[in-house]
Homo-oligomer: A and B are copies of this chain.
């Protein structure tokens, strides 16, 4: 009960499914560590927003709901799965349980004997980062899939235009 839980996602962007998950984990655990994965990537179709922008979305959304007892930490990918649990563990304060819906994350932590929990995803047909980004790219209603504070923030930073422009590009920055 008096545990600190780790929950890892990419949050590209932070949507209502993420908010639902955060609320449920905080209902069950003492503290929540949010790991913001693929932290070094941004300005790609899969990862349009920087880690700093994602931290800001999380912060605005959770504060607007009055949620506290959480911390968010950017986690850079190395691509080397065999050292990933060590890497993550060294960058984070101690935690006792991991929430994940990713089979890979579950397996990597299980091979290190960590305790893993799974919660059902909330409206998983529509409330995914993939769907939000698809609507941003095609001019659909993405705003209804994210918390109002996130919609407002993405408006401030021109998020929709960024997603649309980088979606037209093939290849790297060069």
> Which residues of A are at the interface with B, using a C-beta cutoff of 8 A?
8-10, 35, 37-44, 46, 50-53, 55-56, 59, 71-77, 79-87, 89-94, 102-108, 162, 165-166, 168-169, 171-174
Contacts and interface: CB of A to CB of B under 8 A. Distances in A.
A92 B42 CA distance: 13
Contacts of A81: 41-44, 173
B77 A86 contact: no
A104 B173 contact: yes
11 contacts: A9-B174, A10-B174, A42-B82, A43-B107, A76-B76, A77-B173, A82-B86, A84-B173, A86-B86, A102-B171, A106-B165
Contacts of A35: 174
A92 B82 CA distance: 12
Chain copies in the assembled complex: 6
Complex A-B, nearest 10 residue pairs according to Cβ-Cβ distance, in ascending order = A37-B174, A82-B90, A43-B81, A104-B169, A86-B86, A56-B93, A83-B83, A83-B86, A50-B90, A103-B165
Contacts of A90: 40, 42, 50-52, 80, 82-83
B168 A80 contact: no
A172 B38 contact: yes
